[in-house]
Amino acid sequence: MRVNEEIRARQVRVIDEEGAQLGIMSPRDAIREAAHRGFDLVEVAPDAVPPVCRIMDYGKYRYEQKRRAREARKNQHTVSLKEIKYRPKIDKHDFEFKTNHVREFLKEGNKVRVTIMFRGREMAHQEFGREIIQRVIEATQDLCVGDNTAGLAKMEGRNMSIVLTPAK
């Protein structure tokens, strides 16, 4: 956005601080008019023919833009991917404890990757891992969106995982 002497057009359409059109004039005359009113001349539509310039307090305008951007950032929620790792021979209490964490993450609006880690000969019994994933899906199905089944779980090396998406 160009301001005052940075404006390089031969003629500009000028709008005053209240939004009324002052007409088409040279940038030098427009800058003089803006200075006479105690403001800056700011190019708001450089692609128009002729370019449109507005008489405004540029410092205040930039401050307001920064404030609006800060408010927008403050109000947005970023969805992150959380991961909970299980083992095929997990105990009942450990399963419930980890599943409660999965439920909390889903309530916060985060996606959750449920991973089953296999070691050694446990790779020969992947059905135990699928069973655990199915139990997690059943325990969290009121908070998840989409059809999740243990059959959708993917094997990546020695890990089996599925991503649960929270309901809005």
The tens-digit pLDDT sequence of the chain (168 residues) is 888 888 888 999 999 988 899 999 999 999 999 999 999 999 999 898 899 999 999 999 899 999 999 998 888 777 789 999 999 999 999 999 999 999 999 999 899 999 999 999 999 999 999 999 999 999 998 998 877 887 888 999 999 999 999 987
Contact yes or no for 92/74 (Cβ under 8 A): no
Report the predicted TM-score, pTM, of the whole model to 2 decimal places: 0.58
Alpha carbons 101 and 114: distance in angstroms, whole number: 11
Q: Which CATH number fits domain 81-164: 3.40.50.460, 3.30.1370.30, 3.30.2310.20, 3.30.110.10?
A: 3.30.110.10
Q: Give residue 159's pLDDT.
A: 95
| Residues in the chain, total | 168
Nearest to 58 by CA among 34, 32, 25: 34
Q: Does domain 4-73 have CATH number 3.90.550.10?
A: no
Residue spans in the chain of domains classed CATH 3.30.110.10: 81-164
Residues of the chain with CATH 3.10.20.80: 4-73
